[in-house]
Structure 1
Amino acid sequence: MLRLDDLQIFVRTAERGSLSAAARELDVSAAVASAALKRLEAALEARLFARSTRSLRLTAEGELFLGHARASLQSLDDGRQLLAGGRREVAGPLQVSAPSDFGRNVLLPWLDEFQALHPRLHLRLLISDRQADLYRQPVDVAIRLGQPNDSSLVALPLAADNRRVLCGAPDYFARHGRPRQPEDLRRHNCLLYLLAGRAHQRWSFSDGRREQVIDVSGDRICDDADVVRRWAVAGRGLVYKSWLDVAADVRAGRLEVALPDYLGEAAPMNLFCTHRAQLSPAVTLLREFVQQRCAELIRARPWA
């Protein structure tokens, strides 16, 4: 069996071209280093170095084995860092982009909890319904509904089962009645927000047999989805939003779900980054934390 310290001495000797220099760097005696090389050569049944009184050079077999030895040491070091990363305290900056409604009203208190668990973490939170350009903006990860326009981004699920739901305030329903089927929405004031610069006014519903898409209209539209939710809570009209955004309002009685027998369109929540190399311990822990909190909200969803 090959010994790790023998491989280290072999690689360092090859890099320095000197057994004594390698021994000094590794804080062992020249005799110990020489014995390690002899032990390695015996185990491999190959001569790794051509030695003389004045020089030391790799043999052809030594050149061939050097790449494998380096790769083995690197793989072991990667594994060691991976295990250590799971144990070490998360620290340093973490830059997160999030949509307005979810970011302000749902994610914000979760981040307070997360930072309390990791007090050496420094958060930079960017709140906007505009898609963050992860290649240009100072952002590590972005939390968004749906899939990105850029297929080169890495998308990791946070709430794959999330959907949009139709909601209104009790006061609105008392004054205008409740829609009983999707077609009834044509007679209601529907509060609209902008998605990718366009009004999201085609609302889709499924009864399990067929999907219905209704073109809705209303007297208010905003590029900030949080404002649209606030209008709904104030009784100004109906809103068609991600369940994650309105779950707290529904549980508190500020909003009520309409058309509960119809499924709204899928609205999966994902975490995006430009490359998997960005999945640092801080990002991985944040994703797991948010994923768990989203799952708790999804369990209280009004659909099966």
Structure 2
Amino acid sequence: MVRLDDLQVLVQAAEQGSLSAAARELDITPAVASVAIKRLEAELGLRLLVRSTRSLRLTSEGAHYLQHAKAALNSLQQGQIALAQGRQQIAGELALSMPSDLGRNLLLGWLDELMAQYPALRLRLRVSDRLSDLFRQPVDIAIRYGVPEDSSLVALPLAADNKRCLVASPAYLARFGEPKTPNDLKDHNCLRFVLGERLFEQWPFGNETVKVTGNRISDDAECVRRWALNGEGIAYKSAIDVRADIEAGRLKVLLSAWPTELCPLYLVCPHRLSITPAVVALKDFLSERLRR
């Protein structure tokens, strides 16, 4: 394979008329420059330069190849410039993964507003409660609850103080009554959520944790929310997910005197280089909406 630094030596040698001058321009030694030309000639199988102790000239093949070398280096330079400019613009495609409940009921509308602000932005959504592999799947960033277990990921806080809350519909409470203490949940139908192989059946309330049971389990948080709205049981949900339902009276918060666990929301990236202007705009936009 032809090396780019070898092409640079060839171009500089032709422009400077001297291998030593080319080496000084590229901040390498003359010996390194000489090896680069020899390596390039060996790769191409032809002589590019005719050299003596005092002069240097291109062969006819070298003069012909020089134009292609210049074009290749110029094309790469233009590509670098285009990438640099692109990183300063809120444009291009953003592949985003987000939870089902939060995504469908809240973020989807907000993302429409964001794209109206930035018409050059394109969006590819992955809506699922299954955690996306940011290193293997075609996902640039993910919106997730909880601190990532993988410490190599970069987590940008969106709602660091968000908590979970216990909720049920007025219809369920009319039939089965309202729990007065966390321990009373053992006598209620609790709607449980499963993520991967983990079943969330231990519901914490401060220093107390209650193992709950029920007749419904789902790996989709939106299903759990709908079951709660339909009066099928009690759910332990992120406050963000059910805020609109609570304000509209569709769900009621239970055991509000007991502390519940934190459920921080993060924007997760595989590395710092993933934080483009578009990602920063998304983070600032969502953070502002969530503060409201």
Identical-pair percentage: 47
Letter paired with 2:157? P
Kindly state the Cα deviation for residue 16 of structure 1 after the two structures are TM-superposed: 3.6
Which of 248, 258, 263 is equivalent to 2:259?
263
Q: What is the rounded CA distance, in whole Å, between the counterparts of 1:231 and 1:219 in structure 2?
A: 11
Q: What is the rounded CA distance, in whole Å, between the counterparts of 1:230 and 1:241 in structure 2?
A: 12
1:130-279 correspondence to structure 2 within 5 Å: 130-206=130-206, 211-279=207-275
Runs of 4+ in 1 over 6 A off after TM superposition: 53-56
Question: What TM-score comes out, normalization by structure 1 length?
Answer: 0.69
SS of the residue corresponding to residue 266 of structure 1 reads coil
Using a 3 Å threshold, how does the CA distance of structure 1 residues 55 and 138 change in structure 2: closer, same or farther?
closer
Contiguous gaps of at least 5 residues in structure 2: 1-7, 29-79
Q: What is the rounded CA distance, in whole Å, between the counterparts of 1:262 and 1:17 in structure 2?
A: 77
Q: CA RMSD in A?
A: 2.8
SS of the residue corresponding to residue 264 of structure 1 reads coil
Kindly state the Cα deviation for residue 91 of structure 1 after the two structures are TM-superposed: 1.7
Q: What is the rounded CA distance, in whole Å, between the counterparts of 1:252 and 1:140 in structure 2?
A: 35
1:57 matched to 2:21? The reply is: yes
SS of the residue corresponding to residue 93 of structure 1 reads strand
Letter paired with 1:131? L
Letter paired with 2:124? R
Q: Could you give the per-residue CA deviations for residues 140-169 of structure 1, whole angstroms, max 9, x where no partner exists?
A: 001111122322111111111011100011
Q: What is the rounded CA distance, in whole Å, between the counterparts of 1:55 and 1:135 in structure 2?
A: 44
SS of the residue corresponding to residue 57 of structure 1 reads helix
Letter paired with 1:139? V
Contiguous gaps of at least 5 residues in structure 1: 1-11, 23-52, 65-76, 297-304
1:48-87 correspondence to structure 2 within 5 Å: 57=21
Check whether the contact 2:12–2:22 (CA below 8 A) recurs between aligned residues: no
Q: What is the rounded CA distance, in whole Å, between the counterparts of 1:244 and 1:59 in structure 2?
A: 62
Kindly state the Cα deviation for residue 85 of structure 1 after the two structures are TM-superposed: 5.9
